[in-house]
Amino acid sequence: MVYTEWDQGSVHKIVENQKAFFRTNSTLDVEWRIAQLKRLKAVIRLYEPKILEALSEDLGRHPNEAYFCDVGSTILEINETIRGLKRWAKPETHYSGLLCFPSVLTKVYKMPYGTTLIISPFNFPFILSLGVLAASIAGGNTAVIKASSKSANCTRVLKKMMSDAFPPEYVTVIDGGHDVADMCLEERFDKIFYTGSPRVAKHVMERASVNLTPVALELGGETGNWCIVRKDADLRDAARKIAFFKICNSGQICIDVNQVAVASEVADEFVEELKAEVIRQVGEHPSDNPEYPRLITKAAYEKCALTAERYEDRIVFGGRGVPSERKFDTTIIYPVDINEEIVGRQLFSPLLQVVTYPDAEIDGLLKTISEREHGLALYVFTKDRKWADHVMSTMQFGGGCVNEVCIHMMVKGVPFNGTGHSGMGAYHGEWGFREFTHPQTVLFGKTKFNLPLREHPYSGAKNKYKDKLVRLVER
């Protein structure tokens, strides 16, 4: 792929043109925003074959998986936004309170930030750019999308799609590597939305702090996402769902299961069920299956292979790769101690380590997890609903599931977000609209019957009522 030759001047010109367009107030009209969302949906439909082809070229994704994860999910996100936007954008009306009398009417307007920067990753290059774009459009902003250089074919398609659908002063896709991303971060955007790693997120926040630009971050978390399987769990069901998730996009998913903690009483049985499920879904040698996804770059493949090599004495399934295809088998490493290095970092690969713990010592396991960086997701498998509810309402993480994996992010009307090292801010549906707008409070004053309650003088016999009245109201 040949990238546009970007320099600071050309990036600056794009941002200035978008700021000028925003100042025309064209984006403030809600009906106009809905029309743009419909245009976005239409161009996705039009380019669907090219999107699926690009996802296959970059990530080896089967068309069914590609549609489910990137195309269909984005369309559902846009549909929800179109249906709800008029209601979300309507100014709120509030009673101002006695202290403001006679000015009893206050409104809260949902105002766009202005020109937004969306930095999207390689693993889901369409939904994690266009899904965020839908929220930005809904909020009434313009948008620059800095797309990943790793998923080059997807970026090429994305760039063509957006240039066909929107003028560059409204929506623009910028390609290129980290140097180009830094050029974008040099500019004064009004809102930045970044999806990626905690390490890069720190750099994004540092650059944004220069201009006090508000930032939303969606991150995988430094120590990865935990899945806990209790001894009372339906092991076959748990294995089936975890295997599916580990196979999907070859483990390159921010909410993927990074490590699974299994009660030692059932660990051997669970591992056998997990092996059987991987074989059932993609075969004994997944890398030979044309449906099985590939790792994004040669460097990602080599990192995965090197990690597997270090733990080859405990690989009970997989461990084999095809370098020319950048495919590495879904690999089970068992057993692994909770304090080993591999458990302390996000792998972003098809490697899955199995940590064991005595079921009676579940509280100790939860304490260890809670002392580490917060994950973007937490999954538990158990028949004890009361225990599961307690865990989910006391642990800190982005979102999660009980007796399921991943599909919490498909639920409409709820936020998708992280906390701590797994991110800040939230989006999807109305939460995305909120993320890309700021609430602007305006009180409408009256010119008659104004009381001198808040005005000087406060002293003197005739002004004593002021203190008494304020204390009566403010108590």
Report the chain (475 residues): mean pLDDT per 10 consecutive residues: 76 98 98 98 98 98 96 97 98 93 96 98 97 98 98 98 98 97 98 97 98 96 93 98 98 97 98 98 97 98 98 98 98 97 95 98 98 97 98 97 96 95 97 98 94 88 87 85
**Residue whose token pair is 């949906």:** 41
pLDDT for the residue 149: 96
Task: Determine which one of 77, 80, 169, 218 is catalytic.
Answer: 218
Number of H helices, E strands in the chain: 16, 20
CA distance to 218, 411, 422, per residue, from 255 (Å): 10, 15, 10
**Residue whose token pair is 């294995």:** 239
Query: From CA 365, how far away is CA 347, in angstroms rounded?
Result: 20
Residues near 323 by beta carbon (within 8 Å), at least 6 away in sequence: 298, 301, 305
Task: Determine which one of 154, 227, 248, 254 is catalytic.
Answer: 254
Residues of the chain with CATH 3.40.309.10: 225-372+377-412
CB atoms within 10 A of CB 423: 26
Residue 367, both tokens: 């304490």
Query: From CA 457, how far away is CA 464, in angstroms rounded?
Result: 10
Measuring CA to CA, which residue among 264, 283, 273, 266 is closest to residue 240? Answer: 273
pLDDT for the residue 1: 41
Residues of the chain with CATH 3.40.605.10: 8-221+425-438
| DSSP helix, strand, coil percent of the chain (3-state; round to 5) | 50, 20, 30
pLDDT for the residue 229: 98
Known catalytic residue at 227: no
DSSP H helices in 60-217? 63-66, 72-89, 127-139, 152-165, 178-186, 198-209
> Do 123 and 248 meet the contact criterion of CB atoms below 8 Å apart?
no
105-112 and 437-444 strand pairing: antiparallel
Domain 8-221+425-438 carries which CATH code?
3.40.605.10
Query: From CA 320, how far away is CA 336, in angstroms rounded?
Result: 19
Q: List b or e across 356-378, with b for residues whose CB sees 16 or more CB atoms inside 10 angstroms.
A: bbebeebeebbebbeebbbbbbb
**DSSP designation for 373:** P
pLDDT for the residue 4: 65
Known catalytic residue at 187: no
Pick the CATH number of 225-372+377-412 from 3.40.309.10, 3.50.50.60, 3.30.1020.10, 3.40.50.720: 3.40.309.10
